[in-house]
Amino acid sequence: MRPIRAVIYGVGSMGALIAPMLLHKGVEIVGAIGRNPAKLGRDLAEVADLEAATGVIVDDDAPQVLGTCGADIAVVSVGSLVGAMYDHFRVCLENGVNVITIEEESLYPWLTSSSLSAELDELAKRHGVTLTGSGIQDVYWVKLVSGVVGSMLQLERVEGRAQWNVDDFGPEVAREFRVGATREAFHEAVSGDGWYSPTVRNTLDALAAELGLTVERSHARVTPVLATADVRSKSLAQMIPAGRVSGLVEAVRIETREGPTLEFEMTGRVYDQPLDADTSEWLIRGEPAAVRLANAGYSTRLLTGSIIANRIPDVLNAEPGLVTIDQLPPARYRPLPLGDYVRW
């Protein structure tokens, strides 16, 4: 067995979080790609708060890094939509590097970015590598839920709710959620086609695929969360005045050809109370009885990182192409170095 060789592609909040997790799991980090001028030219240890220097220097020349470092996989933490991520994925795949990403739409992009997904699938197959999206959704919002649905004789409806702290995911997510905007500016920004977040819709698409259901229609709404008192956003390093946007609530309802409906409401906001906590709750309605699955007090950010780490062997063992999590087994705990689980 040999260690997995990985590139940290995106050294922001999540890339810096995942790097020490990979080292802990026996992964060799052989490259780091970033775009923040303040981080370029520095050892990865300096920007990811690692215990010792790695000799890996943060570089903004992705083709150069990926073409010379001999990586098996890139852990990509840059954006949220396949369209914006296409070139980042392409350069990895063209250099024969597998990809696992926290980019939310890649969890199941076939219905929302079908043409780009087909192109990425073909590109990955041509170069013999795999592209997969994962994160908190993988385990807590899809695989656990589908496991509980497996106990039902007849499924009528799945209802989910989750909450997480916007500040845990860096300034880009806070800006995307319009943190600090006025109510009027928020509604102007999200009106018409001004808003699309892949987290909720693509989670439900992945869940439908996992359950063998066919999506026919979807309905979405997004509303602002307004600060009830002045609250400081750590990620934006600014105070959000009372009455301004501190996050949002997005809800999506999916109707399926087979009959069951899937609903998911997600709240992402800046936490302003000591007892605020990440939560996830699912209610599965059907026969013989309704079943509730609830988790509270966990860290969405930390679990996203550890799930990504544990998923790496599954990505390396999968067939080439764009492989969504409904095609993968449930995530597993990995007590040994991750390279021990790869079929080299």
- Domain containing residue 126: 5-133+302-341
- CB atoms closer than 10 angstroms to residue 185: 14
* 143 lies in the same domain as 254: yes
Whether the pLDDT of residue 181 is over 80: the answer is: yes
* 256 lies in the same domain as 334: no
Instruction: Tell me which H or E stretch contains 250.
Output: strand 245-256
Tokens coding 307: 């799930």
DSSP characters for 158-204?
EEEEEEEEGGGG-HHHHHHTTTT--HHHHHHHHSTTS---HHHHHHH
* 111 lies in the same domain as 160: no
β-strands 245-256, 261-269 pairing: antiparallel
CATH number where 124 lies: 3.40.50.720
What pLDDT, in 10s, does the model give residues 40-62?
999 999 998 888 889 999 999 99
Report the pLDDT value the prediction gives residue 169, as an integer from 0 to 100.
87
Percentage above 90 pLDDT, the chain: 88
* 270 lies in the same domain as 309: no
* 166 lies in the same domain as 290: yes
Tokens coding 243: 């009455």
Report the pLDDT value the prediction gives residue 269, as an integer from 0 to 100.
96
Q: Which amino acid is at 321?
A: G
Whether the pLDDT of residue 286 is over 90: the answer is: yes
Confidence of residue 208 (pLDDT cuts 50, 70, 90): very high
CATH number where 240 lies: 3.30.360
* 246 lies in the same domain as 288: yes
Q: What domain count does the chain have?
A: 2
DSSP characters for 107-149?
GS-TTTSHHHHHHHHHHHHHHT-EEEE-SHIIIIIIIHHHHHH
What pLDDT, in 10s, does the model give residues 271-283?
988 889 999 999 9
Give the mean model confidence (pLDDT) for residues 259-278: 94
What pLDDT, in 10s, does the model give residues 214-249?
999 999 999 999 999 999 999 999 999 999 999 999
